[in-house]
Amino acid sequence: MQTINLAAEALKSNQWEIKSVSGLPLIQSPLLNRYAGDLVHAFTTRNGGNTKAPYESFNLGRHVQDDALKADALHNRSILCTALEADLRYLKVPGQVHSGNIVTISEKDSAPELAKVDGVATRLPDVPLLLHFADCVPVIIYEHKKKLLAIVHAGWRGTAQAIARNAVDLLCREFGGGPSAMVAAVGPAIGTCCYPTGDDVVQQLMLTLSPPENVKLEIDDLDSLVKAGGDSEQPRPDLKAINAMQLLLAGVGEVDVCSFCTSCRPDIFYSHRQSGGITGRQGATAMIRSNAAN
């Protein structure tokens, strides 16, 4: 029986830089950038576009029933693809319904039904994947030996359905990926600082963290993923760390967690909580480069 303090690793977060790429402010994980020859990835901010208030200024979501805003989001997606030298025609964007569902993209030109899924996985090069966020946790997983990619949207409901772990399982099951060859980036999302919630939510989240049989976890380890006290009497789960923990428990080699809290930084990010619900969506996008094709 092995005892390891995975929670301490899951709780580590890193300051990611905001860089201008073709004039667009983008954030990248230093860990994923180690594989930049094979993998393109980026997290967008709310800045750099012309989207009107209260969705200013680089909204990628088509979640509001407004034709002009939807067209603007498509335009912004095309700007993002151009900045990353990705082809908009092959862009795959799941509907995002707070599920634990992930689908595999196995053809460049077509996709399975994406309306009711919150994650996509592929081994195809030149197929950009995009999900959007306003506090929920974006997770990009890359298997660098077989060159496999998955990206998921993990709000508390998706996290409670272990969507990040599901993505690891899917890459193993469908493509023969190995967890130890996987690296993952947990992007900008709401921090424990801004996320008081109910005991029932915490309970559901913690149920996803049962360790494999050969790993013994001290109970204190898991407790450290939920903060208590502060202004609110409510518990404050660390959604980013809980996702990182799911990945580490699934055997993922290395996880890079972004320290930005979307709710603390309305100058940089869209935040559902901070805005009261009327706001835009930033993106998390990734694509395997064609020169990386097997």
Residues in the site for Zn ion, rule: CB under 5 A? 191, 193-194, 261, 263-264
Shortest reach from residue 79's CB to Zn ion, in Å: 28
Q: Report the residue number, 152 or 189, with the smaller CB distance to Zn ion.
A: 189
**H helix runs in the chain, sequence order:** 6-11, 30-33, 67-83, 156-160, 163-175, 199-206, 219-223, 239-249, 272-275
Shortest reach from residue 27's CB to Zn ion, in Å: 16
Shortest reach from residue 191's CB to Zn ion, in Å: 4
Q: Report the residue number, 148 or 261, with the smaller CB distance to Zn ion.
A: 261
> Residue 233 carries which DSSP code?
S
Rounded distance between C-alpha atoms, residue 154 and residue 160, angstroms:
9
- Range list of β-strands (E), the chain: 2-3, 18-21, 24-27, 39-44, 102-105, 119-122, 129-133, 137-143, 148-154, 182-186, 215-216, 226-227, 236-237, 254-257, 282-288
Q: Report the residue number, 69 or 194, with the smaller CB distance to Zn ion.
A: 194
Shortest reach from residue 282's CB to Zn ion, in Å: 15
Q: Report the residue number, 97 or 228, with the smaller CB distance to Zn ion.
A: 228
Q: Give strand pairing partners of 130.
A: 285
Residue with tokens 């949207």: 153
Q: Report the residue number, 27 or 151, with the smaller CB distance to Zn ion.
A: 27
CA-derived radius of gyration, the chain: 18
Shortest reach from residue 197's CB to Zn ion, in Å: 13
